[in-house]
Amino acid sequence: MRIIKGKGETILKKELKGDYNFFMKEVNTNPKSKGYGLIRDKSKLAPEVASIASVGYGLAALVIGAERKWISFSKAYNRANGTLHTFLNNMETTNGFFYHFIHMETAKREWNCEVSIIDTGIFICGAILAGEYFKGEVKEKAEKLYKNINWNWYRDETVNQFYMGYSPEQGFSGHWDMYAEQLMLYVLGVASPTFPIESSMYDDFKKPITDYGEIKNIIYTYCGTLFTYQYSHAWIDFRNRRDNNGINWFQNSIKATLANRKYCIENSKKYKTFGENSWGLTACVGPSGYSGEFGAMPAMSKLEGNDGTISPSGAAGSIVFTPELSIQALEYYYNYFPELWGKYGFKDAYNLEGEKAWYAEECIGIDKGTSMLMIENYLTGLIWEYFMKNEYIQKGLQKLNITQKKKEEESV
């Protein structure tokens, strides 16, 4: 990646270290606890609750920390190894999938939550990455966890799509029926050596296409939230890859990011938080609580959930797609909104729409994690480098025919 020198790079490194610190501090490090290695979902609210996605990003943080010598290799190795031991031995599991939220100490299900396929996917991506970097028992345990997942159990054979969620009380619900953050699931599922899915599942979710002004042929998501264009890309290097239908998912995320910013500029009179350097509508906490419906056009949703809330993770998580614009946004937040900065770098979100400006009190693991991985990928490519070494990831991309082409310009 091309690095922009100067103040922008300084802010990136400060945010990267802040993100890393979240995963180092908001973690259970008690070796006698059933929940060793579990990481909080949020830094302030519900301190007893971890999320498995946070743990996945936390495993990536150990890789980043060891590489940057913020933590010794041996200490990072032992923490990763102990975390995977927790998942193999202490966690409640259903066909290899894990509950979305778990208690930090007991490793038991919290909030009557769902058995989550997407959050299991994020965790497994972190485990695979850690295995490739640390090798040894870490890699062995990561592979065992991956092989335990019965991807077909989560598949609705009547429509050849993954269900959205499952709980013992209600059974399966919803479907991953259109493009969103779930690309990683098809790559992981089709390459499974134990419970592989058919590659046709990749073909059988909807990929709606539209234009947004001069930005053409965007494959868009339901709410137009930026995280849906980021999550799988944080792990999988889709650059210069196209599938059999000519889809370049990396280029699509560039387009979606530019459209998100364009929408914020065009609606800056409606929402005073929005602007050319304050953009990146994505799931985050707002004045009324957490919402996954802060989105931009193009979208199927009418965007009625928008209230002017902006999360720095929107721009930070898109830095590999729009580096100059993302850095300008992060500089703007840092220079003009000191209340948005805390001990873990940028807080989750801010909103200027009320009589008094609102700033989130907390940081959220999935937002810190996405920012961290994307900034590291932009600066060094570290996450992509090691994750793409995994034989199953390579096999999955090949089976889906998402193959590398000659180096091409990622233009819109």
DSSP letters, 254-277, are: HHHHHHHHHHHHHTTTT-TT-BTT
At 399 the pLDDT is: 98
Neighbours of 384 (CB within 10 A): 22
Q: How far apart are CA 376 and CA 20, in angstroms?
A: 11
User: pLDDT digit string (tens) for 252-301?
Assistant: 999 999 999 999 999 999 999 999 999 999 999 999 999 999 999 999 99
Could you give the maximum distance between any two Cα atoms of the chain, in Å? 58
pLDDT, mean over the chain? 96
Domains of the chain by range and CATH? Answer: 7-404 (1.50.10.140)
DSSP letters, 3-15, are: PPPSHHHHHHHHH
At 73 the pLDDT is: 98
Q: How far apart are CA 359 and CA 286, in angstroms?
A: 8
Query: Against a cut of 0.75, is the pTM above it?
Result: yes
**Residue of 337, 184, 226, 325 whose CA lies nearest to 273:** 337
Two structure tokens written together for 269: 């009179």
At 410 the pLDDT is: 45
**How many alpha carbons lie under 13 Å from residue 49 in its C-beta half-sphere?**
16
User: pLDDT digit string (tens) for 133-143?
Assistant: 999 999 999 99
CB distance 124 to 145 below 8 Å: yes
**Taking 60 as the threshold, does the pLDDT of residue 3 lie above it?**
no
